[in-house]
Amino acid sequence: MFSDNQIERYSRHILLKQLGTTGQQKLCDGRVLIVGAGGLGSPAALYCAAAGVGTIGIIDYDRVELSNLQRQIIHAEGDIGRLKAESAADSIRAINADVCVQAYTEKFAVENARLIVREYDFVIDGTDNFGSKFLVNDACVHEGKPFSHAGVLQFSGQTLTVVPGKSACYRCVFEDLPPKDAVPSCSQAGVLSSVVGILGSIQATEALKYLAQIGELLTDCILTFDALSMEFRKITVRRNPECLACGSNGKWPLLYGDHCN
């Protein structure tokens, strides 16, 4: 049952025919884990909090730096030097005191990945390196947890939603980590501030749709976005029966290079 305050807070959701109070209740009962409190994780966490997702977990072991503020909108100038997970948790609480926030200040690693993922209904991959992205994929696949992948670089991004056992996983499409230094990172090649906002907002949208059980998820399809031409494209992808994560001989863990998130 919602209080008068909650009915007012979520009134624009409740007005939506496909969502209503039933859908809002599902959001309030939902648990979303956000891996990385950076450019993608910031908008994803803020929208999940505003939307009333009941429990939000956020894992990041890094600290806020001045160069993060150009795009990591969950942190402010006063947060420089603080642990990102704690800074993000405070911002979430400031937006919506109803949300239960779990801040993990450790590294998302092989040792803890599956234990943490297991506690949630949906995972948002807001990491910034290939090792972490494959680790999120493999942990979610082996725990049977749906998740949203996204990657950004310069003026473009891509995103894909994975429902383990049902749709293509990140490893079905990309198989394994690219050779070291084959693809530059945002810290090497830069990224336009709002591009991470667009991709992170799409990820939050997928989480909300999944929790409320509405619409169609972005599965078996990679959505790419180019800000300079303002073009969105969808590329169909398929499950790989030989996939090292979700195939019949899927393994855990695999190798993740010298990753950090």
172 belongs to the binding site for Zn ion (CB under 5 A): yes
x/- contact string, 216-245, with Zn ion (CB under 5 A)? ---------------------------x-x
Hey, what's the torsion of the CAs at 112, 110, 131, 208, to 10 degrees?
-40
Rule CB under 5 A: is residue 149 a binding residue for Zn ion? no
Closer to Zn ion by CB, 165 or 190: give it: 165
Q: Is 169 in the site for Zn ion (CB under 5 A)?
A: yes
56 or 172, CB closer to Zn ion?
172
Q: How far is the CB of 171 from Zn ion (least distance, A)?
A: 5
- Cβ proximity to Zn ion: between 48 and 246 the closer is 246
Q: Contact 45/59 with Cβ under 8 angstroms?
A: no
Least distance from C-beta 251 to Zn ion, angstroms? 11
Whole-number minimum distance, CB 245 to Zn ion, in Å?
Answer: 5
3-state secondary structure 167-207: CCCHHHHHCCCCCCCCCCCHHHHCECHHHHHHHHHHHHHHH
Cα–Cα nearest to 94, from 69, 76, 81, 67: 76
Does residue 73 bind Zn ion (CB under 5 A)? no
196 binding Zn ion? (CB under 5 A): no
- Nearest distance in Å: CB 219, Zn ion: 12
Applying CB under 5 A, the span of 4-12, 91-99, 164-172, 208-216 interacting with Zn ion comes to 164-172
# chain residues binding Zn ion, by CB under 5 A: 6
Query: Residue 246's closest CA among 161, 160, 171?
Result: 171
Query: What DSSP character marks residue 37?
Result: S
Which of 196, 246 has the CB closer to Zn ion? Answer: 246
> 130-167 as b/e, with b when 16 or more CB fall inside 10 Å?
bbbbbbbbbbbbbbebbbbbbbbbebbbbbbbbbbeeb
Of residues 156 and 167, the one with the C-beta less far from Zn ion: 167
Mark whether 186 is an active-site residue: yes
Give least dist CB 5 to Zn ion, A: 44
Question: Do the Cβ atoms of 138 and 52 come closer than 8 Å?
Answer: no
Pairing of strands 31-35, 122-125: parallel
Structural tokens at position 55: 């429990």
Beta bridge partners of 235: 222
Q: Is 246 in the site for Zn ion (CB under 5 A)?
A: yes
Q: Which is nearer to Zn ion, 56 or 173 (CB)?
A: 173
Give every strand in the sheet of 100-104, ordered side by side.
Answer: 100-104, 55-59, 31-35, 122-125, 147-153, 156-162, 221-226, 231-236
Q: Which of 28, 48, 140, 186 is catalytic?
A: 186
Q: Does 142 bind Zn ion (CB under 5 A)?
A: no
Which positions touch Zn ion (CB under 5 A)? 169, 171-172, 243, 245-246
Active site residues: 186
